[in-house]
Amino acid sequence: PNEPPMVFHWLPVIGSTITYGMDPFAFFFANHKKYGNVFTFILLGRKMTVCLDTTGNNFILNGKIKDVNAEEIYSPLCTPVFGKDVVYDCPNSKLMEQKKFVKFGLTQEALRSYVTLITHECEDFFKRHKTFKGQQGTFDVPKVMAELTIYTASRSLQGEEIRNSFDSKFAELYHDLDMGFSPINFMLSWAPLPHNRARDNARETMIKLYSEIVRKRRSGVAKKDSHDMIWHLMDCKYKDGVPVPEHEIAGIMIALLMAGQHSSSSTSAWILLRLAQNPHIVEELLAEQKSALGHHLPPVSYEDLQKLPLHAQVVKETLRLHAPIHSIMRKVKQPLVVDGTNYVVPPSHTLMSSPGFSAQLDNHFVNPAHWDPHRWDAGQNNYDEERDEADEEKIDYGWGVVSKGTKSPYLPFGAGRHRCIGEQFAYLQLQTIVVAFVREFKIRNVGGSKDIIGTDYSSLFSRPLAPAVVEWERRQK
């Protein structure tokens, strides 16, 4: 049969592992030029078929479960981190129910309370953190934002007990568990290496910790006075009437912690690095807050966030150029004809989609490499995804109604049955952090340069190369 073209390589098993691994987007652009939207390359001995641009995004992300499968790819890496019976260690129908539990737990009331909690956490952090002593200085953005992200997410979504234990044992556990996502684990997640032993210990300890919290709460020691996700999951029941067991509550909470932490901390770091490159936007953001909320800058509420479109556009534009997930993978289950081609992909292949690639194409975006939050201003001639969405046939996965196909080149949160359910929370968290940050600080690149740092693709989630140091100065109030 007519298989997609194979990317040229010298070494059999290594194939294109090195060039892809160093910079996946440069690799995609180079081969897109040579072979077009569909080609196969060798990644650690596996045949990966990449399908680019909007047709490729749609083909892979909206694939049927009988054709493409996510858990076979993700489970070896994720199950030792999340534990049994959740996410990729269960049938897809069960994952859909678990996504529904989480999505339904993010009620308006919950989101409203999170804005207040996140704001408090930011204010505390900017006042007390050793990085921000005095009136001005420099800071390593990715390092500091990783810390702030975990505090804000745990105070809101994870709940008070988890937030409080972060100051002691939890940080270390989190670190050990996170080592489970080292890239080497793509091949060796089962191996009895020291980092995998530490991961397994950390997972068991963490499952115990969450289970204890659930039991304590159930015994009536703690009264339900917050909207965190643990309280919500304690009330959830599967379709067959069975409540979510403790170890599954724990597994879902760990999955949320991991999913949210890497993507949001990378994104918040990129936001600040882009703002440091463009200090005039920081002043525009502050001006937007003053004109929408009042010159005295009252505490921001969930409803206020809707009145700050430039803040949302800063997040949106940063996700266009710096999507933390550069490659999305699925196992092929039966021979598939790639949409829009006559290539056939056999079941021995893995499919790879990269919505971050279509977001950088000049047939969709004017001057695509340029970071400009104003490209999303009303009336700008950008790609009109909402118009397209409205035209499309819908499908209900239980956790939400999404388009059956997707024509948008801009999909930082994915599409189809595996689409992100954390988008609302991520936007809320990122916007609230930006609101608090620009109220307190000015930032700029060291010496006022206009450079932007490169991307580190060595982990599963891309992030700014560390260290990435910028200058801060506290505003006079």
Q: Determine the Cα angle at 193 with ends 158 and 177, to 5°.
A: 5
SS3 135: coil
Q: How far is the CB of 225 from ligand HEM (least distance, A)?
A: 21
Q: How far is the CB of 12 from ligand HEM (least distance, A)?
A: 28
106 vs 345, beta carbon nearer ligand HEM? 106
Q: Which x/- pattern, by CB under 6 A, does the window 321-340 give for ligand HEM?
A: ---xx--x------------
Contacting ligand HEM (CB under 6 A), which of 199, 418, 439, 444? 418
Closest CB 101 distance from ligand HEM, rounded Å: 10
Where would I find the beta strands (DSSP E) of 363-456? 394-396, 401-403, 441-445, 455-456
Which residue stretch of 77-85, 253-261, 284-292, 431-439 sits at the interface with ligand HEM (rule: CB under 6 A)?
253-261
Q: Which of 412, 439, 453, 472 binds ligand HEM (CB under 6 A)?
A: 412
Select 132 or 310, whichever has its Cβ closest to ligand HEM: 310
Residue recorded with tokens 């949302």: 312
From candidates 83, 251, 260, 464, binder to ligand HEM by CB under 6 A: 260
Using CB under 6 A as the binding rule, whether residue 356 contacts ligand HEM is answered as: no
| Residue 208, phi-psi category: left (phi > 0), alpha (psi -120 to 50), beta (remainder) | alpha
d(CA 164, CA 6): 52
Phi-psi category of residue 63: left, alpha or beta, with phi > 0 → left and psi -120 to 50 → alpha: beta
What are the phi and psi torsion angles at 336 (to 5°)? -125, 135
273 touches ligand HEM (CB under 6 A): no
| CB closest to ligand HEM, residue no | 422
**By the rule CB under 6 A, 269 interacts with ligand HEM:** no
Q: Write down the least CB distance from residue 447 to ligand HEM, Å.
A: 30
HEC string of 249-292 equals: HHHHHHHHHHHHHHHHHHHHHHHHHHHHHCHHHHHHHHHHHHHH
Segment interacting with ligand HEM, rule: CB under 6 A, options 43-51, 206-214, 252-260, 449-457: 252-260
Q: Does 90 bind ligand HEM (CB under 6 A)?
A: no
- Site for ligand HEM (CB under 6 A): which residue of 86, 259, 321, 351? 259
- Position of tokens 């934002």? 145
- Report the distance separating Cα 249 and Cα 144, nearest Å: 29
CB 174 → ligand HEM: shortest distance, Å? 15
The smaller minimum CB distance to ligand HEM, of residues 4 and 63, is found at 63
| Residues belonging to the chain | 477
The residue from 56, 80, 373, 414 that contacts ligand HEM (CB under 6 A) is 414
**Burial (Cβ within 10 Å: 0-12, 13-18, ≥19) of residue 205:** middle
Tokens of 402: 């999404």
Tokens representing residue 314 in the block = 């800063």
Q: Which residues contact 206 (CB under 8 A, 6 or more apart)?
A: 173, 177, 250, 254
Q: Kindly tell me which residue out of 51, 173, 256, 269 binds ligand HEM, with binding defined by CB under 6 A.
A: 256
Residues 55-84, interacting with ligand HEM (CB under 6 A): 70
Residues that bind ligand HEM (CB under 6 A): 70, 95, 99, 256, 259-260, 263-264, 267, 319, 324-325, 328, 412-414, 418-422, 425-426
